[in-house]
Chains A and B, each alone.
Chain A
Amino acid sequence: DSGVTQTPKHLITATGQRVTLRCSPRSGDLSVYWYQQSLDQGLQFLIQYYNGEERAKGNILERFSAQQFPDLHSELNLSSLELGDSALYFCASSNRLARDEQFFGPGTRLTVL
């Protein structure tokens, strides 16, 4: 158990809809990262937040957005969903000290029908 929690575990929705994925980092970790894992694209970094502020952006679509709240939990919002958005979405956290590894949550499996 990494100490990172994600909800929900599974999510099934329809095209055009909007969903919110939630992540709670390990106690004491200030940095949260979001990743998308799909069969054709592999594991891709989406976005990072540190202590409530956006710090880095990866291959995140404009239809997707995220935020980190004062209690450090984070939410990833996916809107106008398409079939191709079906994937595993992982959250990871780190202390953001130099050379610290990231700890991954169990993931949310999103299926868009």
Chain B
Amino acid sequence: AQSVTQLDSHVSVSEGTPVLLRCNYSSSYSPSLFWYVQHPNKGLQLLLKYTSAATLVKGINGFEAEFKKSETSFHLTKPSAHMSDAAEYFCVVSDPYNNNDMRFGAGTRLTVKP
């Protein structure tokens, strides 16, 4: 069975400093991996996805993530945090051969301090 673990439930950074949100996955297959963002009282928005092409994936709003098979990780990074990045971030693993069965991590709440 596949699963994801988000290693930090809460991350706090200062505006203009780098962001690192950590995610480890477990999957029997070659997985699809996603990062979604949820702003308060909003739905989930796709930031980026990995689907076995390039291991470094660029997403929206300056975010990127690197798929590391040897470490079973898919960490999300951004060079410089902006106040508008404050939100909840979800790492997701999907089994494309099983009805796109998606397993969500518990989420990481990102706080950005001025």
Q: Roughly how many angstroms separate A42 CA and B108 CA in the complex, as a whole number?
A: 11
Q: Roughly how many angstroms separate A106 CA and B38 CA in the complex, as a whole number?
A: 10
B99 and A43: CB pair below 8 A? no
A43 and B101: CB pair below 8 A? no
Interface size class of A (residues with CB under 8 A): 20 to 34
Residues of chain B lying within 8 A (CB to CB) of residue A99: 32, 49, 51-52, 94, 96
For residue A64, CB closer than 8 A to chain B, the reply is: no
Main secondary structure of the interface of A (DSSP, over half): strand
CB distance from B105 to the nearest CB of A (A): 9
A42 and B107: CB pair below 8 A? yes
* Number of residues of chain B lying within 8 A (CB) of chain A: 25
Tell me which of A56, A103, A104 contacts B99 (CB under 8 A). Answer: A56
Query: If the complex has contacts A42-B106, A55-B99, are A2 and B43 also in contact, measured as CB distance less than 8 A?
Result: yes
A103 and B46: CB pair below 8 A? yes
Query: If the complex has contacts A104-B43, A106-B43, A107-B43, are A48 and B99 also in contact, measured as CB distance less than 8 A?
Result: yes
Known: A56-B98, A102-B100; 5 extra A-B contacts, CB below 8 A, are A42-B104, A45-B103, A55-B99, A99-B94, A107-B42
Give residues in B with beta carbon < 8 Å to A: 32, 34, 36, 41-46, 49, 51-52, 90, 94, 96-104, 106-107
Closest 4 A/B residue pairs (Cβ) = A98-B96, A104-B44, A99-B51, A104-B43
